[in-house]
Amino acid sequence: MKSTRVLSAETVILLHPERWRVVFPSSSERHAAGEEPDRRRRRWSRDHAHAHAAPTRELLLCLDGRGFFGLAGRLHACRPGTLFVIDPEVAHDDYYPTTADGLIHVWLRAMGQQVFVSWFRVSRGRLTPLHKFLTVLDAREIGLFAAALSVADQDAPEAMRVARFRSLVGLVALDLARRKDEPVSEQDESSVRLHAQVVAAIRAHIETTMGKGVQLDALSHFSGYSKFHLLRMFRKEAGCTVHQYVDRIRMTAVHRLRAEGKTNGAIAEALGFSSPTSLIRWRRQSEAS
């Protein structure tokens, strides 16, 4: 007699994106009877809203537990099978209130051509990592996914946008379902490979932006690792700190832009310095160190 494997509720959700409820910043609030958020929860959301300036979207997929999530000034029911599409510059909840409990959430963020996936359990507002890894989709599929997160499609019909995001995230969800029960170790080969991928993606991001607007908090947020852990990983893989790498890339960019005949003012603007004076001061300090 063949044994039948019983799939977990989280796996069932991952395998059926056609059932997901997709919420955009423009979506209206929908709450079941008796599930309306109270004033305290609405006030928390107002007081803890933030937005990201990065030119990519974030995605939040809810796998277990019930609660609320603030997006664009509205509180939406956050229940299993809900996918939130968080556009850049759109205010949304910054982490979770202490009333958030018993949740399992997956965050997806793109940086360049890499898609970061962070899997968390939320207990009384505190996040515990369950599984963290980059998607292992074919590079072309990752590229399509990352590029799609940057596409401005607000004018497209909502039904088309819903289908598009179900398909895109569904690609990642298939891989999540396959790997979600694999053990995670700091020492195994897959973990070592992951760390190298994370650092490579961050290095590529720094090189593409020439260090402009690069902040450790944002890098930590997008990668899903704590700042301390990320710094340790980066130094081990790159042989220097994030700050040192940014300075190195900026100095290379300065020499290239000067060779192209750019003025100090144009170079300062391109690299994110507040003024030509700040650029000159930074160059002196860097060259002296």
| 168 shares a domain with 137 | yes
Judge if 63 and 176 occupy the same domain: yes
Residue range 257-271: mean pLDDT, rounded: 89
CA distances, 142 to each of 150, 172, 188, 246 (Å):
13, 9, 24, 25
**Is 245 in contact with 203 (CB distance < 8 Å)?**
yes
User: Does 239 map to a domain?
Assistant: yes
Give Cα separations from 35 to 42, 85, 287 (angstroms).
13, 22, 60
Give yes or no: residues 19 and 147 share one domain: yes
Instruction: Read off the tokens for 12.
Output: 């069932």
Q: How does pLDDT run across 117-139, given as a tens digit for each residue?
A: 888 899 999 988 776 555 545 65
Per-residue pLDDT of 174-228, as tens digits, reads 877 777 666 555 555 566 777 787 888 888 888 888 888 788 887 887 777 778 8
What pLDDT is attached to residue 42? 94
In a domain, 1, yes or no: no
Overall pTM surpassing 0.85 (yes/no): no
- Going by C-alpha positions, the residue among 242, 245, 214, 198 that lies closest to residue 53 is 214
Whether 165 and 286 map to the same domain: the answer is no
For residue 3, being part of any structural domain is answered with no
Distance CA 161, CA 265 (A): 42
Closest-CA residue to 24 (of 88, 87, 105, 107): 87
Instruction: Identify whether residues 156 and 227 lie together within a single domain.
Output: no
Domain extent, residue 60, equals: 9-184
Domain boundary among 167, 184, 201: 184
* CATH classification at residue 234: 1.10.10.60
Looking at the fold, whether 95 and 223 belong to one and the same domain comes out as no
Same-domain check for residues 39 and 135: yes
* Beta strand pairing call for 92-93 and 49-50: antiparallel
Judgement on whether residues 91 and 216 belong to the same structural domain of the protein? no
* Residue pLDDT, tens place only, 61-108: 999 999 999 999 999 999 999 999 998 889 999 889 999 999 999 988
For residues 106 and 174, membership in a common domain is answered with: yes
- 177 domain-assigned: yes
Domain boundary among 126, 154, 184: 184
Domain count, the chain: 2
Backbone phi, psi, residue 241, to 5°: -80, 165
Per-residue pLDDT averaged across 146-166, rounded?
77
44 and 76 inside one domain = yes
Distance (Å, whole) CA 49 – CA 62: 19
